[in-house]
Structure 1
Amino acid sequence: MHGKRNGRAWWHWFAESDTPQERKLLLKLDLLIVPYAFIGFWINYIDASNINNAWVAGLSDDLNFRGNQLVDFQTISQVAQVIGQIPFAYLFPLLPMNWLVPGTEIFWGIFTLLQYRANSYAEFMAYRFFIGFFEAPFFVGVHYVLGSWYRADELGRRGGIFYIGLTLGSLTSGLIQSSASANLEGVAGLAGWRWMFIIVSLMTFVVAIAGFFIWPGTPDIPNKMFLNEEELQIARRRLQENGTGAKNNAIPKLSLGLLKSVFTSWKVYTLVAWNLFFWNSDPQPWGGYLLWIKSLGRYTNAEVNRLGSSAPGIGILYVLFINFSSDLWLGRTGAILLAHTVNIVSMTLLVVWNIPENAKWFAFNIYYFDIGMSSVLYGWANDILRHNKAERAVTLVVMNTVPTAIRAWIGLLVFKTVESPRFTKGYSFCLANSICLIGFTFVVRHLYRKQEERHRLELSQSSESVVEEMSLPIESDKQTRAANVTVEPIKVSV
């Protein structure tokens, strides 16, 4: 591999072409966007995954839940996410993101809190539905904001740090539940798993309130608390040079023309299929690791949650490696191939199942390589869609909504709770999708390269037209080349 990519050494945060003013702006954006996105996703995933930890910590026994009721709770959240994402395809470009994202976070925190008092299956189903509904815009909204401020060659690392929130959420959810079971069981007459819902909801409220002030919105509808007009102009110029939103700089309106433009393009269908393979290659949401540890029958509830935190803990390193190497070393295709080659090894071991126990620990503790490349995929999608922000908003939501809708019922078929801890059908399904994703990545790369070649040709023709209209002499070729450099995006390794 090369020590340099995109005009910089692998350890350099900025491109050599970035001016001092641009570097100052990038640092400010990194401090405003990345930490909040990371912490928000951390809280988001704690609230999404805590039902698994509560289940093995006594919830199922205390309330006499049996059969497939755990997968029902997981499924209803995903159904709600599908419903909740649909309107945001229109709202992202229209509303201030520093109000939209933290506002929905407040609501999912309320329903997370209400779970502490639930005593029936119906109550949990209702609360899990509303948690999923209000969580719906967060993930896609963060990627929309990242793509609104950063160039293509800057997205992987920022997206990777954001995505650590998922692994940290899984890790700390288990540790919080372990601590609650060990130290708060019976306090105020509440079980340890009930205390977990109280604790994480309070954390959610704090993060949401901070978001109203910290989250910078988008260059079109910015939060000017920490960004001045000069910095906004620099940000808009950088995006124009990158071709971001070049075809549509007005606030978009939902129209038949927009929908026709989206659904007659290769992009939406290609990105939906690609993301579908990715979502269905991941077994983590179904709680197989925790259920297997509990099935061993030699650990307390606190120990089960503590041991179950090992996979997401190690997964933090996987996420960082995959996303940083995508920008600076392996390129996008190489990073995706590495992540899913490891996932194929993991899923193969779990399908075989009759292997030494140490091999099972190994298989469960490497499957976070799979989800580690999420920000590589979404960053690439942002790059593909960068020329029209209205189409980008709609397509990002569609490419996330369709896989969510399909995975909502996949668990009922291949990850039935009654079949735990050995999910042969489930792990086989994930294995097949991982293989398909690797193959389909080359299709995406081919189509992306064709798009970029057409874009470069359009820029070249546009520059020639400008030169002719201005009646510039041939000697001004240097100015023409300078104009081309101004609008030509930094090339990104794929």
Structure 2
Amino acid sequence: MSVHNEKSTETVEAAETPVLEQSKSKENYEGDQTHGVEPARQKWYQWFAPTDTPAERRLILKLDGLIIVFVFLAYWAKVLDSSATSTAYVSGMKEDLKLYGNQLNYLNTVYMVGFITMQIPLTLVMTRCPVNYFLPAADLFWGVFTLAQYKASNVTQLYALRFFVGALGGFFFPAVQWYLGSWYKRSELSRRGAIFFIASQVGSMSSGYIQAGAYARLDGRYGIEGWRWLYIICFACTIPIAFLGLCLLPSTPDKCNSRFLSADEIRLAQERMASENRQARQPFTLPRMLEILKGWRIWVLVSFAFFFSQADGVSSNSGLSLWLKAEGYSVESINTITTVSPAVTIVASIVCGVLSDVYDAKASLIAITAVLNIFACIVLAIWNVPVGLKFFAFFLSGTADGIAAIIYAWANEICAHSAEERALVISAMNTIGNTFGAWIPLFVWKTVDAPRYLIGYNWTIALDVCMLVMLAVLRHYWIRERKRARN
């Protein structure tokens, strides 16, 4: 568990005031750094910017070790649970708990209710608490509720447990995006966000193998059915990671105590955030909330996030696997071939993250990705094309999620002036995507239309076109704000 270092904290508190006063005295610094002259950026193969001092480089490496390792592992564990219930259902849970109706759908619905309704509240609560305790504590409770599912004796118990699992896991993604924005400069955020995001793809690729191996070797061990072991494994993966977070994570630079960061390093982190106009946490009052809701940022960014969040339908609705099954491919071949899509997403995420940080090319990367996804969906909507081209289109659609990290990095940059606005906007962006993603596929990606999904592919084309329009709107407002800041 993170230890409070009294000597270091006293030094930090003594140094914090002049640092904050210095940032306030640089009222026009935002015009020079954030909205005006671009900071020096590294080459694509470099991890640090040319202007980073040796002290900054040591700090960045420490932050990567303390923060990125934990959030990657924790997100990977979350993905294991997201598929555990579906795997458990077909591995004996259906018969043991007599789930012969629509109970699986209801379980998923209850999970999504907790996931969606608690994202914004818990993210905002986190901004008022020490993050180094809040995130690992939420992970611990998430692990406990996940474990409790193995003892369920009826579906009613599962309903209650799935709600809490959804609530405690749902806010993790926006909370981490906000947390990364509290420590890293805008020329560093996209790569870290990409590393964090690809944990979900690694999880989806590995979960099937882990669960299949566990079921085959543990079914009946100690009198416990195989499907119950799946939840025990999720718990066993989560608890060590949560304790790792309690030991490693620093809070935010404005109120930081850490056994691994010295007073000088904390002061340097504060100065780095001040140079980015990344403001420390302030009281979250009703007038402040109304001010945020009256601004353009939340409405434009959330609208943009809606179109982005729905545009990955090709890869998220099993079109490739269902087509392969209809073509007579073996189960082994289907399982192998479908791992290409998340692999494409991983590569796209890394490439977009690096290029975004090096060239500050967020808008261009988003536009290119949308065009690639439009091309893929046009091919799939036509359908009667050469088999090789159809494979290429399915795999190409995996790039749709590759821009997730840079979209949230951009939101961190746009809302840099307010920690509270960053938290509200980022969590709202993610919530709106999950809210619509919970029911739109029921009408657009109908199982009876599989594997062609003509409505779904045309819907995705429309989403990407709308995303390009919203990209133009977002750039317009952002460029206008930067011009006003310079004047």
* Aligned CA distance change for structure 1 residues 119 and 415 (closer, same or farther; 3 Å): farther
> In the aligned structure 2, how far is the partner of 1:304 from the partner of 1:64?
30
The answer on 1:162 being equivalent to 2:196 is: yes
After TM superposition, the score normalised by the length of structure 1 is 0.81
Structure 2 partner of 1:146: 180
> In the aligned structure 2, how far is the partner of 1:10 from the partner of 1:363?
28
> In the aligned structure 2, how far is the partner of 1:120 from the partner of 1:287?
30
* 2:486 partner amino acid: R
* 1:449 partner amino acid: I
* Aligned pairs (5 A) from 1:73-472: 73-118=107-152, 122-188=156-222, 192-245=226-279, 249=280, 251-283=281-313, 284-290=315-321, 299-300=330-331, 305=335, 307-329=337-359, 331-355=361-385, 359-416=389-446, 420-457=450-487
Structure 1 position 204, deviation (Å)? 1.2
* Aligned CA distance change for structure 1 residues 378 and 232 (closer, same or farther; 3 Å): same
Residues 274-294 of structure 1 deviation map (CA, whole Å, 9 limit, x = unaligned): 111111112244455555556
> In the aligned structure 1, how far is the partner of 2:56 from the partner of 2:242?
29
* 1:112 partner amino acid: T
- Measured on the aligned residues, the alpha-carbon RMSD in Å equals 3.0
| Contact 1:88–1:397 (Cα < 8 Å) also in 2 | no
Q: Is the partner of 1:37 in helix, strand or coil?
A: helix
* Aligned CA distance change for structure 1 residues 157 and 303 (closer, same or farther; 3 Å): same
Structure 1 position 297, deviation (Å)? 6.4
Residues 386-423 of structure 1 deviation map (CA, whole Å, 9 limit, x = unaligned): 01112222222222222322222223333455655554
Structure 1 position 197, deviation (Å)? 2.7
* 2:345 partner amino acid: G
* Aligned CA distance change for structure 1 residues 235 and 58 (closer, same or farther; 3 Å): same
* 1:152 partner amino acid: R
* Aligned CA distance change for structure 1 residues 13 and 69 (closer, same or farther; 3 Å): same
Equivalent residue for 1:27, pick from 47, 58, 61: 61
> In the aligned structure 1, how far is the partner of 2:97 from the partner of 2:386?
35
Structure 1 position 259, deviation (Å)? 1.2
| Contact 1:111–1:131 (Cα < 8 Å) also in 2 | yes
> In the aligned structure 2, how far is the partner of 1:7 from the partner of 1:235?
18
* 1:441 partner amino acid: L
> In the aligned structure 2, how far is the partner of 1:304 from the partner of 1:112?
29
Structure 1 partner of 2:30: none
* Aligned CA distance change for structure 1 residues 93 and 117 (closer, same or farther; 3 Å): closer
| Contact 1:319–1:373 (Cα < 8 Å) also in 2 | yes
**More displaced, 420-429 or 151-160?**
420-429
* Aligned CA distance change for structure 1 residues 440 and 353 (closer, same or farther; 3 Å): same
Structure 1 unaligned residues grouped into runs of 5+: 458-494
**More displaced, 377-386 or 444-453?**
444-453
Structure 1 position 63, deviation (Å)? 6.8
* 2:347 partner amino acid: L
Q: Is the partner of 2:240 in helix, strand or coil?
A: helix
Structure 1 position 433, deviation (Å)? 1.4
| Contact 1:278–1:433 (Cα < 8 Å) also in 2 | yes
Structure 1 partner of 2:27: none
* Aligned CA distance change for structure 1 residues 362 and 125 (closer, same or farther; 3 Å): farther
Structure 2 partner of 1:461: none
> In the aligned structure 2, how far is the partner of 1:12 from the partner of 1:280?
33
* 1:199 partner amino acid: I
Structure 1 partner of 2:10: none
| Contact 1:77–1:131 (Cα < 8 Å) also in 2 | yes
Residues 97-139 of structure 1 deviation map (CA, whole Å, 9 limit, x = unaligned): 1111111112222233334455765554443322211012211
| Contact 1:9–1:328 (Cα < 8 Å) also in 2 | yes
After TM superposition, the score normalised by the length of structure 2 is 0.82
Q: Is the partner of 2:368 in helix, strand or coil?
A: helix
Structure 1 partner of 2:79: 45
Q: Is the partner of 2:188 in helix, strand or coil?
A: helix
| Contact 1:175–1:306 (Cα < 8 Å) also in 2 | no
| Contact 1:25–1:231 (Cα < 8 Å) also in 2 | yes
Q: Is the partner of 1:438 in helix, strand or coil?
A: helix
* Aligned CA distance change for structure 1 residues 346 and 183 (closer, same or farther; 3 Å): farther
* 1:228 partner amino acid: S
> In the aligned structure 1, how far is the partner of 2:376 from the partner of 2:92?
29
Structure 2 unaligned residues grouped into runs of 5+: 1-37
| Contact 1:156–1:376 (Cα < 8 Å) also in 2 | yes
* Aligned CA distance change for structure 1 residues 323 and 131 (closer, same or farther; 3 Å): same
> In the aligned structure 2, how far is the partner of 1:236 from the partner of 1:165?
28
Structure 2 partner of 1:492: none
Provide the identity percentage: 35
| Contact 2:43–2:358 (Cα < 8 Å) also in 1 | yes
> In the aligned structure 1, how far is the partner of 2:343 from the partner of 2:87?
15
**More displaced, 206-215 or 283-292?**
283-292
